[in-house]
Amino acid sequence: MYCAYVTKIRNLRKHTNADRLLCGECFGNTVIVDLGTEPDQLGVYFPVDGKLGVEFAQKNDLLRRKDENGNPAGGYLDPEKRNIKALKLRGEKSDGLFLPISCMDGFIDTSLLKEGDTISVVNGITICEKYIPKRNRSGGSPGGGSRVRPQLYPELQRL
């Protein structure tokens, strides 16, 4: 079962190739955060291979969208998939997503959350779940026919 973890970000350091980013660790995985993140700050860590709930992603402005002029206006997650995946940002890999504990405001009283708690559904609202990619149902070849040419392999001809 996929879940997010309430944890502290550890070993904060400057990003090697960006002035406004920091790198830290959650459960041994590197995550990239903004300069507003404090050392040992309590937050919520979403490991890779997860999917954020629609309401949670919208409230925290995580979904990619454009303004009336067609310019990017916020978020970076695909609005359909909402999946957390490993990203390389300016040469540094980020294995998951770390958000401050305030991201849970409006879903739960954040004073009740403590390090080590797990989160997936809060008060009936899905915060995160396992991401299962959609699979194409095609049979392989564009025409939907057999992959084996019967004239080359007569013993495999259909009955």
Phi, psi angle pair for 102, to nearest 5°: -65, -15
Q: DSSP strand E in the chain: where? A: 4-8, 10-14, 21-26, 29-34, 42-46, 50-52, 65-66, 72-74, 83-84, 87-89, 92-94, 97-100, 118-119, 121-122, 125-126, 128-130
HSE (side-chain half, CA atoms, 13 Å) at 157: 6
Within 8-152, where are the H helices?
54-59
Residues ≥6 apart with Cβ < 8 Å to 145: 139
Question: Residue 143 — very low, low, confident or very high, per pLDDT cuts 50/70/90?
Answer: low
pLDDT(136) > 80: no
Please write the tens of the pLDDT for every residue from 9-59: 999 999 999 889 999 999 999 999 999 999 999 999 999 999 999 999 999
Residue type, 10: R
Task: Name the average pLDDT for the chain.
Answer: 88
pLDDT(95) > 60: yes
pLDDT (mean) for 117-141: 86
CA dist 50 and 58 (Å) reads 16
Query: Quick one: tokens of 15?
Result: 């990003």
Output the pLDDT for position 71: 84
CA dist 20 and 152 (Å) reads 62
Output the pLDDT for position 139: 55
Output the pLDDT for position 151: 66
- List the one residue out of 49, 40, 81 whose CA is nearest residue 62: 81
Percent of the chain beyond pLDDT 70? 86
DSSP designation for 59? H
Output the pLDDT for position 100: 97
So where are the chain's domains?
A: 4-156
Question: Residue 69 — very low, low, confident or very high, per pLDDT cuts 50/70/90?
Answer: confident
